[in-house]
Amino acid sequence: MDITHKRADLLDPAMLAALGRIELVARWVVDGFISGLHRSPRKGFSVEFAEHRPYQPGDDLRYVDWRIAARIDRWVVKQYEEETNLRATLVLDVSASMSWSGDSTRLTKLAYAERLAAAVALLLLRQRDSVGLVRFDDRVRTVIPPRMRSGQWRRLVAALDDPGAGKASYAAGALERAARVVPRRGMILLISDLLVERDEVVRAVRSLRGAGHHVTVLHVLDPAERELPFASDAIFVDPESGSEVTATVADVRTAYRATVLAAIAEWRAALSAVGASYEVVMTNEPFGIPLRRAFAIRQRLP
């Protein structure tokens, strides 16, 4: 499929993921997202990005990008380049429950989250922010401290390609580890299906907020988890504990949906109470939707 004339950040995520590896998908998504920002009628909305335009007589030579001039033999002028010095750490849940999808035509929660994390990381790196990564399941699997230097993007993508192994989710411990790799105030972005102990996560987030970090939680859900669209009888299996429950879906659907909505409301209230941002992310949403939310949060930070 040719996506050169389409904004990848607005395409179906499963279809887009089928076209290339994590690195390529993230680049396509971010390129499409940035092109959308540049067409935005809002003045100065894309000012954080390093942009270039052809050199014109009278331009200040201090703003000529000599590296590009040497490579392509054409002078271009840097615009809106700004060193932000934000340190951001992505905290990604790779536990067993994340490897689930309610429909074979959709990405699993983990596949979606990995590509979203890659796109967020690339977007921040292009803004001259430092980006790190913590991956966790029943223990912390990966720790990459925030860096902006050359090669960081390749390290992040390579880590995202590694599989998780544990069944449980140790989100609180991963957040605590993230705090240790960010020695000064920064941005912590937790991406998880939040099948974890809420009180433990809230305590960890409160500690991060007390240290001055901005915390955002992206709650990844498959549409089937929210709506329970299945028919007839079903066996519900907890992928992390292995416990099973048999139920007639029609009998439990209304109560189930109400329980899910209540859980979302409780997460939102608990995280808001400790000063964290909270967003629900559905795995059938184009990547540009949660990316736009993450970018808007980043724009509000000093």
Q: What is the CATH number of the domain that holds 191?
A: 3.40.50.410
pLDDT per residue as tens digits for the range 147-168 = 988 799 999 999 998 876 677 8
pLDDT at 58: 62
> Quick check: is 25 in a domain?
no
Taking 60 as the threshold, does the pLDDT of residue 197 lie above it? yes
> Quick check: is 250 in a domain?
yes
**Domain with 138 in it:** 87-300
A 10 A CB-CB count for 287 gives 29
> Quick check: is 289 in a domain?
yes
CA distance linking residue 132 with residue 209, whole number of Å: 18
Rounded to 10 deg, the angle between the 152-160 and 22-38 helix axes is: 120
Token pair of 294 as six digits: 């993450």
Q: Which of 83, 102, 133 is the last residue of a domain?
A: 83
Query: DSSP letter string over the chain?
Result: ---TTS-GGGS-HHHHHTTS-HHHHHHHHHHHHHHHHHT-SSTTTTTTS-EEEE--TT--GGGB-HHHHHHHS--EEEES------EEEEEEE-SGGGG--SSTTS--HHHHHHHHHHHHHHHHHHTT-EEEEEEESSSEEEEEEEE-STTHHHHHHHHHTSPP--SS--HHHHHHHHHHH--SS-EEEEEE---S-HHHHHHHHHHHHHTT-EEEEEEEE-HHHHH----SEEEEE-TTT--EEEEEHHHHHHHHHHHHHHHHHHHHHHHHHTT-EEEEEETTS-THHHHHHHHHHHHH--
Distance of CA 278 to the CA centre of its chain: 12
CA distance linking residue 140 with residue 204, whole number of Å: 15
Domain count across the chain = 2
Q: What band does 48 get if pLDDT is binned at 50, 70 and 90?
A: very low
Token pair of 253 as six digits: 């659907």
> Quick check: is 44 in a domain?
no
Mean pLDDT to the nearest integer, 211-218: 96
- % residues pLDDT > 90 (the chain): 60
> Quick check: is 53 in a domain?
yes
Selected residue with higher pLDDT from 36 and 99: 99
pLDDT at 60: 64
φ, ψ (nearest 5 deg) of residue 129:
-85, 155
- % residues pLDDT > 70 (the chain): 81
Residues 241 and 150 in one domain: yes
Residues 56 and 193 in one domain: no
Short-list 143, 135, 129, CA closest to 180 = 143
CA distance linking residue 210 with residue 176, whole number of Å: 12
Residues 56 and 110 in one domain: no
Please say whether the beta carbons of 181 and 143 come within 8 A: yes
What single letter denotes the amino acid at residue 68?
A: I
Whole-structure pTM over 0.85, yes or no?
no
Residues 189 and 77 in one domain: no
pLDDT per residue as tens digits for the range 256-300 = 899 999 999 999 999 999 999 999 999 999 999 999 999 999 888
> Quick check: is 214 in a domain?
yes
> Quick check: is 27 in a domain?
no
Please say whether the beta carbons of 137 and 168 come within 8 A: yes
> Quick check: is 5 in a domain?
no
CA distance linking residue 289 with residue 284, whole number of Å: 10
Taking 50 as the threshold, does the pLDDT of residue 127 lie above it? yes
Lowest pLDDT segment from 32-36, 51-55, 79-83, 112-116 = 79-83
pLDDT at 52: 63
